[in-house]
Amino acid sequence: MARKLEGKTIALTGPRKASDMVKLVENMGGTARIHPAQGTVFLDDAQLRESIQSWISEPPEWVILTTGMGLDAICTMAEDMGMLDAFLSVLEQSTIAARGYKTINALKKRGLSPLVRDDDGSTEGLIRGMMDYSFEDQSVVLQLHGDPAPKLTAWLDEQGAKVRQVLPYKHVEPEKEQLALLLTGILGGQVDAVAFTSAPQVRNLIEYAREQDQLQALADAFEGPVVAAVVGRITGQALVEEGITRFVMPPVDERMGSMMVELGRYYANEVIRS
């Protein structure tokens, strides 16, 4: 593998597959520092079981799916409850809107396809797709991952929809010590890039910087010399919402490996430009 991260220190903020990411960074010639900006993600069994039972007993007119992993978790739980066939039957009879290619693939595995999907992998793209439909007094089940989607829920409220949220996973707050080390590394020039694999990681760092009155300093650092790398559009949007628009992102394949390859390509092009 080309060593396009030679001499670069990359801060990894995700709790998942950290060892794999470290190995990838090292194989590309870089040095990895692990600073989790997201706590442990766990399945909320009791709440999910209750949500599935309610979903089946009171079928919604619309189902909005935002993550493939979330749909997989719901189906696994429904199967464990002996209710998978009933759940899929209800899902098939609902009008489906979906965000992201992983969600589309999760539906395809079950012989389903959405009526509405995003046009660019983002929540805004999904909203644009739903604008042609009326949600007034429509019952909607909104599947999230474990993190709120304020723009989407606000839009549905404005349309007069009756929304039930289903969150298969829950995020635990990260350790403040790790956020402090990450922020210090960014502001002190100890890291060259920060790799974000989810929107909560961005929001947790942003909120911590705000609490420390260092938000502007953080934003300035991401304008240069520190590079923000994001796994996909949803994660990138969390930066954009704070006015941070300089970041590296894989153009199509929203995976951690693709993100690191894109970061390596960025540095290789930087060398060429210089």
Report the alpha-carbon distance of residue 38 to residue 199 in Å, rounded. Answer: 9
DSSP reduced 3-state for 126: helix
Residue ranges and CATH numbers for the domains of the chain are 9-39+173-273 (3.40.50.10090), 42-170 (3.40.50.10090)
pLDDT in tens, 9-65: 999 998 666 788 899 999 999 999 999 998 767 777 888 999 999 999 999 999 999
pLDDT in tens, 250-262: 987 778 889 999 9
Q: How far is residue 38 from each of residues 123, 171, 226, measured CA to CA in Å?
A: 21, 7, 20
Listed residue (78, 102, 98) closest to 89, CA to CA:
78
Q: How far is residue 124 from each of residues 2, 63, 95, 118, 128, measured CA to CA in Å?
A: 36, 17, 19, 8, 6
DSSP reduced 3-state for 197: coil
pLDDT in tens, 66-81: 989 899 999 999 999 9
Longest CA–CA separation in the chain, Å: 63
Report the alpha-carbon distance of residue 24 to residue 218 in Å, rounded. Answer: 26
What is the 8-class DSSP label of residue 163?
E
User: Is the bond into 15 cis (omega within 30 degrees of 0)?
Assistant: no
DSSP H helical ranges for 167-198? 176-187
Q: Tell me, what's the pLDDT at 272? A: 47
The one-letter amino acid code at 180 reads A
Q: Tell me, what's the pLDDT at 111? A: 96
The average confidence (pLDDT) of the chain is 90
Please count the helices (runs of H) and the strands (runs of E) in the chain: 12, 12
pLDDT for residue 273 is more than 60: no
Q: Tell me, what's the pLDDT at 17? A: 62
**2: confidence class by pLDDT, cuts 50, 70, 90:** low
| Across 115-128, average pLDDT | 89
